[in-house]
Amino acid sequence: MRGTAQVPASKSESNRALIIRALAGSGELHNLSDANDTQLMQRLLQQPDAALFDAEDAGTVMRFLTAYLAMTGRQTELTGTARMKERPIRVLVEALQELGARIEYREEPGYPPLRLLGRTPGPATEATADFTELTVRGDISSQYISALLMVGPTLPHGLRIRLTGKVGSRPYIRMTLALMQHFGAVCRDLGEVLEVRPQAYEPTNYTVEGDWSAASYWYAVVALAPVGSHLTLPTLRRYSWQGDQAIAGIMAHLGVHTDFLADEQVRLTKTAPGKEFTQDFTDCPDLAQTIAVVAAATGVAVVMTGLESLRIKETDRIAALQIELAKFGGALTEVDDECFRVSAENFRVNGQTVATYHDHRMAMAFAPLALLGPLTIEDPKVVRKSYPQFWRELEKVGFTTDPTPAPVF
């Protein structure tokens, strides 16, 4: 297998840049993601007076908009899909309430949908201290922390966030701070303390990088391809803000070598896989499904930790992986508290049907198994959430699909 696969622009960067630009008032954003989550964010930000905002199934849209709308004093409602209404948001809401936001739960306490009733200065924002201070758990979604950070420059005294406990997905926090600095914010990462000075954003232009999360599926393709195969991926930076760039190092254990070329290109080359290894996914949880599938298919035993956040994603990704891997002879077994082992016995691909659980990453993590045999992916349209051109790009490098009733390889 040889060729070039186009990856979409980073959804994580795009959605952060859209919120920051809205707070800055203007600025040109180039190479925005065509993912549904980003297109949705753009549409909603263009409706400032809407009485209802529907975040659908987009976690960043729900969390970032909650903070943005609350701190800009909007009076509106924010809802989402049935699954979104099962994803907790209490930690973010309570932090925003400390900052003066008036927010009510419309249905189940601690979960969307929300009613936003404007903002009144609270005791913290009226204090004369250097910063408005919040204490936030670090083991919850980093999207809560990013949402708070991005509105920090708009507060009269800025914001100081003290993180407690284990901090997950820290690269996404660093990405948020780096984008904020690009737009003129003054902020610091002091480890367990994050500081944002009260200073208005400056209208600035920005070009979004390619998405390393999407690139992970091409790593999986190369890992399962014959020896000597290689693929080139454009628009990926060697020095990236994205935590999922960790895929380059992780996949070295599974038989993929990475070369960083000029003009922001990456070349992936198939090599021999290694043996058993252990990987902590605390900072890159979106890679877990890809690694679990490839490890099971190649017979490389992997011990996986840092998977706590997978249970509150688009689906319970741990349960979904366990069910779907079993169809092929693979297993994801909990061997200790939140420590899992991937194994396989007589792993075979021979026409199985993979359920996607309304989760784009389930579809794309299992699709590369088509290199080992035919399979069916249910509900292939779920990829529109982050990678709308995924099936087309697979076809460009030699996969064949039957779109009725679903892509069949």
How would you write 172-192 as a 3-class SS string? HHHHHHHHHHHCCCCEEECCC
pLDDT at residue 139, rounded to an integer: 82
Amino acid at 15: N
The predicted pLDDT at position 409 comes to 46
What pLDDT score does 263 carry?
82
Contact 140, 157 (CB under 8 A): no
On whether the 212-396 domain is CATH 3.65.10.10, my answer is: yes
Beta strands in 281-318 (DSSP E): 302-305
How many CB atoms lie under 10 A from the CB of residue 31?
16
Give the model's pLDDT for residue 48.
83
CATH topology of domain 10-207: UDP-n-acetylglucosamine1-carboxyvinyl-transferase; Chain (3.65.10)
Residue 378 and residue 382: Cα distance in Å, rounded?
A: 9
- How big, in percent rounded to 5, are the helix, strand and coil portions of the chain? 40, 20, 40
How many CA within 13 A on the CB side of residue 262?
Answer: 0
Residue carrying the six token digits 């994050």: 194
Report whether 38 contacts 18 (CB < 8 A): yes
Residue with tokens 């490098």: 397
Asked whether 4 and 50 are in contact (CB, 8 A), the reply is no
Q: Do domains 10-207 and 212-396 have the same CATH topology?
A: yes
Give the C-alpha separation, 75 to 117, whole Å. 5
pLDDT in tens, 239-250: 899 999 999 999
Q: What's the CA gap between 170 and 283, in Å, rounded?
A: 6
Do residues 274 and 254 lie in contact, with contact meaning Cβ atoms separated by under 8 Å? yes
Residues 6+ apart with CB under 8 A from 181: 187
Residue spans of the chain under pLDDT 70: 121-129, 404-409
**Nearest by Cα to 302 from 259, 335, 268:** 335
Task: Using DSSP bridges, classify how beta strands 376-377 and 256-261 pair: parallel, antiparallel or unpaired.
Answer: unpaired
Q: Where do the domains of the chain lie?
A: 10-207, 212-396
Whether the CB-CB separation of 290 and 250 falls below 8 Å is answered with no
Among residues 338, 288, 345, which one has the least CA distance to residue 317? 288
Smallest CA-to-CA distance from 324 within 367, 384, 386 is with 367
Q: Which structure tokens are listed for 217? A: 């599926």
Q: Are 40 and 55 in contact (CB under 8 A)?
A: yes
The Cα 114–Cα 312 span in angstroms is 18
- Distance between CA atoms of residues 283 and 186, nearest Å: 24
Catalytically annotated residues: 286
At residue 87, the 3 state secondary structure works out as coil
pLDDT at position 120: 84
Strands 193-196 and 159-164: antiparallel
